[in-house]
């Protein structure tokens, strides 16, 4: 095949795929169903969302280019907030249709909060929409515990901290807090699952 014919064939193939890919994307979007989660209060809007066991983000951000698109079928939606009763429900997603869920988080009477002397943990994490777990319990997002006047108030002693987000490797660290101590955990989550981010903890 001559170089000119080869070039012509390459151009035709490029045009073919350029036309085909948008059609495939449209076809895929027609197969997917959208799930919209609505909350009225600040607690509702900052609650974390898990779909089929996978953390996706918090309620108020899962719109626009971050909206939830799922394959048709049954899916488990779990909405959590520290100190509140988790709201778990199974929904059936229809192709090309939107399913709307309203959440109203209720305080958990069994929740235990620090009494007496406490310690503070500030978070400086990228992305700040990740999920933060303290001793395996969901605590919120780094965005809630960073910046002026914002910190996580917890009991002194040893604690296991995990920060997780879909598409990034989990970050984990152990902390041992003295009464009244203030520390900052700083890390950039690493995309994928090969590299491991190391902890950076600053004590005040």
Q: What is the pLDDT tens value at each position of the chain, 204 positions in all?
A: 555 555 555 555 555 445 544 544 444 456 899 999 999 999 999 999 999 999 999 999 999 889 999 999 999 999 999 889 999 999 999 999 999 999 999 999 988 777 788 999 999 999 999 999 999 889 999 999 988 888 999 999 999 999 999 899 999 999 999 999 999 999 999 998 544 444 454 555
The rounded distance, in Å, linking the Cα atoms of 103 and 64 is 19
71-83 burial, b at 16+ Cβ within 10 Å, e below that, comes to: eeeebebbbbbbe
The rounded distance, in Å, linking the Cα atoms of 131 and 173 is 14
The rounded distance, in Å, linking the Cα atoms of 104 and 35 is 17
68 neighbors 62 (Cβ within 8 angstroms): yes
Q: Hey, what are 76's tokens?
A: 């488990």
Dihedral sign of CA atoms 55, 58, 63, 66 in order: negative
Q: What is the pLDDT of residue 3?
A: 58
3-class secondary-structure state, position 142: helix
Q: What is the pLDDT of residue 148?
A: 83
The rounded distance, in Å, linking the Cα atoms of 153 and 180 is 10
- CA angle, residues 178, 204, 173, in degrees to nearest 5: 65
Q: What is the pLDDT of residue 26?
A: 46
Q: What is the pLDDT of residue 135?
A: 93
Lay out the sheet containing 54-58: strands in order across: 54-58, 48-51, 73-80, 87-93
161 neighbors 186 (Cβ within 8 angstroms): no
- Give the chain's domains with CATH numbers: 33-103 (2.60.40.1120), 119-203 (2.60.40.1120)
């Amino acid at each position: 095949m001559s170089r000119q014919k080869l070039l012509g064939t390459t151009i035709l193939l490029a045009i073919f795929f350029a036309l085909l890919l948008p059609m495939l994307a449209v076809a895929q979007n027609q197969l997917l169903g959208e799930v919209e989660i609505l909350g009225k209060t600040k607690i509702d809007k900052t609650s974390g969302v898990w779909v089929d066991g996978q953390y996706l983000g918090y309620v108020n951000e899962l719109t626009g280019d971050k909206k939830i698109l799922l394959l048709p079928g049954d899916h488990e939606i779990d909405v959590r907030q520290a100190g509140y009763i988790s709201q778990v429900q199974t929904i059936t997603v229809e192709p090309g249709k939107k399913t709307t869920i309203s959440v109203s988080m209720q305080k958990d009477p069994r929740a235990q909060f620090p009494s007496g002397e406490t310690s503070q943990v500030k978070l400086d994490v990228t992305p700040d929409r990740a999920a933060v777990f303290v001793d395996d319990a969901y605590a919120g997002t780094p965005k809630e515990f960073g910046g002026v006047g914002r910190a996580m108030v917890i009991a002194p002693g040893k604690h296991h901290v995990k920060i997780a987000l879909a598409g990034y490797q989990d970050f984990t660290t152990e902390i041992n807090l003295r009464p009244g101590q203030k520390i900052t955990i700083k890390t950039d989550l690493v995309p994928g699952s090969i590299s491991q981010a190391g902890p950076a903890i600053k004590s005040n």
